[in-house]
Amino acid sequence: MNIDESIIAAANRRAAVRKAATPAVVAVRYDAERERIVLTLGTGVEVAFEPRLAQGFEKARPADLDVAEISPSGLGVHFPKIDADIYLPGLLEGLLGSQRWMAARNGKLGGKASSPAKRQAARENGKLGGRPRKPDERA
């Protein structure tokens, strides 16, 4: 694909619109007491979240989160010790990772959900002998 000046200009216009619509990160810190990454926005609002909820941060230790770099646009934060990033517009929309990663995470949560209908189905399936036993791998 050839990238000419018109493509670059269009991308710059989209970026300017996004930047105008989203407050920038002006400070970032890890709050060890609350076990949260805290982003302070230019509006004075603070956004905090548990690192384990974000893609790339699942196994991060507090020592991994003591260094963070705010992008020049203020829309991203990079944590060099774990090579992980937070994109502020996505975070504000409730997205803590890529679309694929979020879908997998939400699928796990959905499988843990319980409802009266799910409990009833489990009871009915149990009457039929329940889940088949796994083959013994030692044999």
Residue 137 lies in a domain: no
Range of the domain at 69: 24-127
Number of structural domains the chain divides into: 1
Residue 119 lies in a domain: yes
Q: Is residue 97's pLDDT more than 60?
A: no
The confidence score (pLDDT) of residue 110 equals: 52
The confidence score (pLDDT) of residue 124 equals: 79
CA distance 48 to 68: 15
Cα dihedral 67, 29, 105, 123 sign: positive
Higher-scoring residue by pLDDT: 36, 95: 36
Residue 91 lies in a domain: yes
By C-alpha distance, which of 44, 12, 5 is closest to 26?
44
Local confidence band at 2 (pLDDT 50, 70, 90 cut-offs): confident
Provide the CATH number for the domain around residue 32: 3.30.2020.40
Full-model pTM: 0.61
Residue 134 lies in a domain: no
Residue 113 lies in a domain: yes
Helix (H, G, I), strand (E, B) or coil at 139: coil
Is 86:39 a contact under the CB 8 Å cutoff? yes
The confidence score (pLDDT) of residue 46 equals: 92
